Structure 1
């Protein structure tokens, strides 16, 4: 796929999904882990299931892999109903967080292990192993044992082993959880590159928002067994469909109030007596008179010591705290009504030259399209 191609099969009414959940429910006794889910995932997608612990994302993955049975509904993979199809008969492979490498086998033998038990002719196995080693750039480490590798290298061996049998679908369960932050960020791009080269459909389970936002073509945000929002990373970040999604993805300010006006793409939220309503984009299902909330990202709020006159949305407060993170600083500003609002700025100057400090009286301002008014 070259840079000019746009990969959006979910917008094509004729596109056939690789995976389809239709009315899928999973019960454990009286507990409903997955609640009547409909979902389509398309070939070559890098799809993320994102949510807190216990939201049902791992259960969905285990049903795809054939390790859990569906209570109600159907799951199809590449057009085939998976009911009654055991895990070892599915064109699916799974990569676990623990990697589960054989410690007594070399890297090459770990990759060959599953191939020797498959229908692949023995004469082709070495060539396939060499191909996988090249894919993950581990040719020089073929004779090493897992304990002689770094965490990132072990992760790539596990990935190569999972891809060796050329599955149509690869399931990744928190695959980067054991890596440190810097290596995790590097490996995210390696995974994306490998996924694009192989054309395999990847479904990743993660609770790490940054991981999902970086790698996925689309994200399903889950809560208590339901899909709360399924969309592209930019849409989930910029246009969350609920306070839950806005609060779960990234850093955000949530200001509660009553929706004073909802007119097409624009809305206003009455939030504090004596203050003008906040103007923002209109979220899904908002209507005048109902309770609501305004969600805005800290980086979209401008902080300054002078009252701005060129924007409608402006409020004053006092700097209560400052978090210095090297490339950015986050200012925690206490408003007159007691609410705490965060504003983030890039540190383009040395910290000694910062113009705003603790206990300063400041103004916060933002444009009419910087945030979104959501139903309460």
Structure 2
């Protein structure tokens, strides 16, 4: 804790003195003519909960398999605690992997599943028992120690697999789509359990997922991947609020992307984007030339929707074409005069009968100069 009582912010990647636990340096992995990982360089720090996020086939699982020792780099070096891990066999690495299927032994009890790896190492009976009890407490499974995997729920099996993976106290735990088999509500609950366990153990977690909400919830940092390359590495807030490309903006969350040509101005730019529509005014640090093509990305929750013209720097008229009711929020699909479809979100603070805007209504959408991001690519 700091002197003010506020918890210290965990961000070793901002400290030039901090040494990464894992380093990928110029790593390429080819399978025949196919390049799965393309000249990858990145750092992962101790105690991070690091997410590799991307669509199927982007290379994230190949990265994890190289860390585990199931694949070797074609070029480049992967270091763990400053040591090249290429010569180290999988069973000798301070790394453990938790598979999507959990891979529990069906004939063994929860206790014996957790104890399995420790016994294989030849540890003493008392040492094994103490460590298993510690893992059962950590994962809140004490009451289920004598049960077999088929006698417990999917969420409990997930915790058994996690306890077994953590029992040997690895420096690094790899989680391959660990929550994919759980239903939505249980998955959301388990995400917070994972974060709590990771914080208590101090183990570095690297999770592979294609679920953006999962990555945004659990990760200290996210690496967004595409076709074997890392497109952006940043905290969830930075990835969401300040994506570095249209690909990242579009991949993470819901977004409106408007293409146009820029006119630089004093402290802000104007973007001409549709015939007969006023330009979009936006604040940006990007150095753009007059007439350069660009994309303007804005999240639906930053777009207001009103019956009357709002007092905002950016205001455009349109008609409500569709409404997606999601309980706590509604997303309005508005076709602007120039033909562009824009999504705006409104919190459902009122009951259904008292909401002022419905299908086919003529409306105004608006947003501030700082609400969106100007992207060059």
Provide the TM-score with structure 2 as the length reference: 0.97
Map of 2:324 onto structure 1: 323
Cα distance in 2, alignment partners of residues 199 and 262 from structure 1: 49
Deviation at 1:269, TM superposition (A): 1.6
Shift in Å at residue 276 of structure 1? 2.3
Change (3 A) 1:143 1:263: farther
Aligned mates of 1:145, 1:108 — CA distance in 2:
9
Residues 241 and 284, structure 1, Cα contact 8 Å, conserved in 2 = no
Q: Matched residue of 2:52: which SS?
A: strand
Counterpart among 221, 224, 238 of residue 241 in structure 2: 238
CA shift at 1:280, angstroms?
2.2
| Aligned pairs for 1:103-182 within 5 A | 103-182=106-185
Aligned residue in 1 for 2:87: 84
Cα distance per residue 1:193-213 (max 9 Å; x no partner): 000000000000000000000
* Displacement after TM superposition at 1:286 (Å): 4.2
> How do residues 252-263 of structure 1 correspond to structure 2 at under 5 angstroms?
252-261=255-264
Distance 1:197-1:150 versus aligned 2 partners, 3 A rule: same
Shift of 1:285: 5.9
Instruction: Name the structure 1 match of 2:61.
Output: 58
Query: Structure 1 stretches (4+) deviating beyond 6 angstroms?
Result: none
* Cα distance, 1:174–1:285 mapped onto 2, change above 3 Å: farther
Distance 1:165 1:361 in 2: 63
Residue pair 2:20, 2:45 contacting (<8 A) in 1 also: yes
Structure 1 residues 119 and 10: alpha-carbon distance in aligned structure 2, compared to 1, 3 A threshold: farther
Cα distance in 2 between the residues matched to 1:288 and 1:4: 45
| Structure 2, unpaired ranges of 5+ | none
CA distance, structure 2, for counterparts of residue 267 and residue 81 of structure 1: 48
TM-score by length of 1: 0.97
Counterpart of 1:293 in structure 2 is 295
- What is the CA deviation profile of residues 83-139 of structure 1, one whole-angstrom value per residue up to 9, with x for unaligned ones? 221111100000000000000000000001111011433330011100000000000
2:198 is matched with which residue? Answer: 195
Which 5+ residue runs of structure 1 have no aligned equivalent?
none
RMSD: 1.3
- Counterpart residue number, 2:219: 216
Could you say which residue in structure 2 is the equivalent of 1:251?
A: 254
1:12-51 aligned at under 5 Å gives the runs: 12-51=15-54
CA distance in 2, matches of 1:283, 1:335: 28
Q: CA deviation at 1:262?
A: 6.5
